[in-house]
Amino acid sequence: MKNKKILLGIAGMTVLSAEAIAQKPANIILINLDDAGNGDFSCRGAIGYQTPHIDWMAANGMSMNNFYAVQPISGASRAGLMTGCYPNRIGFAYALNPGSPYGISEQEETVAELLRDKGYATAIFGKWHLGDEKKFLPLQHGFDEYYGLPYSNDMWPNHPQYKFPDLPLIKGNDIIGYNTDQTRLTTDYTNYAVDFIHRNANDKPFFLYLAHSMPHVPLAVSDKFKGKSKQGLYGDVMMELDWSVGEILRTIREEGIEDNTLVILTSDNGPWANYGNHAGSSGGLREAKANTFNGGTRVPCFFYWKGKIQPSGVCNSLYSNIDILPTLVEIAGAKMPEKKIDGVSMVPTLTVDPTIAVRKYLCFYYHKNSLEAITDGSYKLVFPHKYVSYDSQVPGNDGLPGELGQGEVKECELYDLRRDMGERVNVITQHSEVVQDLMREADVWREELGDDLTGHQGKARREAGKSDKTIQSEKAAKSNKTAKSGKAAK
Give the Cα separation of 357 and 353 in Å (integer).
9
Q: DSSP class of residue 456? A: B
* DSSP class per residue in 91-144: T--S-PPTT-SEE--TTSPPHHHHHHHTT-EEEEEE---S--SGGGSGGGTT-S
- 305-310 — which CB contacts under 8 Å span 24+ positions? 305/26, 305/61, 305/261, 305/262, 305/263, 305/350, 306/60, 306/258, 306/259, 306/261, 307/259, 308/21, 308/26, 308/262, 308/350, 308/351, 309/61, 309/62, 309/262, 309/350, 309/351, 310/62, 310/354
Which residue, 71, 74, 51, 170, is CA-closest to 130?
Answer: 74
| CB contact at 8 A, 343 and 123 | no
pLDDT tens sequence for the chain (490 residues): 434 433 444 444 444 455 444 457 999 999 999 999 999 999 999 999 999 999 999 999 999 999 999 999 999 999 999 999 999 999 999 899 999 999 999 999 999 999 999 999 999 999 999 999 999 999 999 999 999 999 999 999 999 999 999 999 999 999 999 999 999 999 999 999 999 999 999 989 999 999 999 999 999 999 999 999 999 999 999 999 999 999 999 999 999 999 999 999 999 999 999 999 999 999 999 999 999 999 999 999 999 999 999 999 999 999 999 999 999 999 999 999 999 999 999 999 999 999 999 999 999 999 999 999 999 999 999 999 999 999 999 999 999 999 999 999 999 999 999 999 999 999 999 999 999 999 999 999 999 999 999 999 999 999 999 998 899 888 877 767 666 666 666 5
Give the Cα separation of 32 and 205 in Å (integer).
20
Domains of the chain from N-terminus onward: 2-359 (3.40.720.10)
So what's the pLDDT on residue 475? 81
Q: Report residue 165: phi and psi, to 5°.
A: -75, 180
| CB contact at 8 A, 87 and 365 | yes
So what's the pLDDT on residue 487? 64
So what's the pLDDT on residue 484? 66
Which residue, 484, 144, 120, 185, is CA-closest to 334?
Answer: 120
| CB contact at 8 A, 328 and 18 | no
So what's the pLDDT on residue 474? 82
So what's the pLDDT on residue 472? 87
